[in-house]
């Protein structure tokens, strides 16, 4: 009688080798899945960082834009400017009438003596 049953040992070795190969396959699958997840997470973080920079940029631009109070002040200043322009226009018309009267007077004077 043999002390070691070589047929049983070979079967046991084959089973252990199959289990080890299966465990290695599972480990490689898990590792690749984890690596893909990490790559996806890193890509997502990069996109979020890009969006965050754009949001900060837009916030800075929005801070410099005029608000309702600024627009109200601007409208008030434009109204005052319109009133001043109307006054200047009236004054210019009056000056134009006076210049025309002087022109008519000078044109209608006799050219003779002084």
For residues 90 and 97, the answer to whether their CB atoms sit within 8 Å is no
Q: How far apart are CA 96 and CA 111, in angstroms?
A: 25
pLDDT at 24: 96
DSSP 113: -
Average pLDDT over residues 9-18: 93
Buried b (16+ CB within 10 A) or exposed e, 58-71: eeeeeeeeeeeeee
* pLDDT per position as a tens digit, 48-93: 999 999 999 999 999 999 999 999 999 999 999 999 999 999 999 9
pTM, rounded to two decimals:
0.45
pLDDT of residue 40: 83
Q: For residue 114, what pLDDT is reported?
A: 56
Cα separation, 85 vs 57, whole angstroms: 40
CA distances in angstroms from 64 to 53, 61, 83, listed in the order given? 17, 5, 29
| Maximum CA extent, the chain | 165
């Amino acid at each position: 009688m043999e002390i070691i049953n070589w047929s049983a040992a070979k079967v046991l070795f084959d089973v252990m080798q199959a289990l080890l190969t299966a465990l290695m396959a599972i480990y490689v699958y898990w590792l690749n899945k984890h690596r893909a997840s990490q790559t996806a997470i890193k890509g997502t973080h990069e996109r979020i960082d890009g969006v965050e920079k754009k949001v900060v940029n837009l916030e800075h631009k929005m801070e410099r834009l005029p608000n309702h109070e600024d627009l109200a002040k601007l409208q008030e200043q434009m109204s005052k400017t319109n009133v001043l322009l109307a006054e200047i226009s009236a004054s210019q018309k009056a000056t134009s009438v006076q210049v025309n009267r002087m022109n008519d007077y000078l044109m209608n004077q006799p050219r003779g003596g002084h």
